[in-house]
Every structure is written in C-alpha cells, then in structure tokens.
Amino acid sequence: CGRDIDTDTDTRGSLQCSVIYSSVKGNTAGITCPSGKTVTGGGCAWLSGGSTTIASANRPDNKNGWYCLIDRAQSISAWAVCCSIS
C-alpha cells in the first residue's frame, strides 16, 4: 500500500461504561445517567399492551439520558449506556 495510516490513541484514561434500566407502567419512560457519566446510547423495549412494538420516540433526551415513547403500550422499558473516562 505504501501509505501511512494515522491512528488516534487516547492516553488519558480508560473508558468505563454501564447500562442502566427503567421499566414503567405506561407508554413513556426516561432514564438519566448518574453524575460524572455521559450518555453514549440507549434504547426502548415494549413490555405489554397495545398492538405495536414501534417506538414513536427512541432518542437521547436533553438531560444526559434516554427517552422512549411507544404508542398504545401499557408498560415499557428504557435503558441508557452511561460512560466516563477514568
């Protein structure tokens, strides 16, 4: 190939991540990462009720967490991947 490949190496620490969950009765759920952690991903799960598993909202919220809305669901679960560098 004859080309140099640049690599970006982070020498400032190691990435520490955890997944936190929230299950609720109703069709909306939100979860916020603990202080010192940053949301890097998340998702939703339909647990019961309704006739669809399609999420109307499945996105980061503006509070360092994750927000879910599933139409016609009677209970849902939200999870967030929360990370920090130590």
Residues 53-75 pLDDT 10s: 566 888 999 899 999 988 888 88
pLDDT of residue 79: 94
User: pTM of this prediction?
Assistant: 0.76
**Cα-only R_g, the chain:** 17
pLDDT of residue 56: 84
Q: Which residue has the higher pLDDT, 50 or 45?
A: 45
Q: Max CA-CA distance within the chain?
A: 59
Residues 16-26 pLDDT 10s: 999 999 999 98
User: Running DSSP on this structure, what letter comes out for residue 49?
Assistant: S
Q: What number of other Cβ atoms are within 10 A of residue 74's Cβ?
A: 13
The residues, ordered by sequence, that sit 6+ positions from 12 with a Cβ below 8 Å of its Cβ are 85
- DSSP, collapsed to helix, strand or coil, labels residue 4 as coil
pLDDT of residue 72: 80
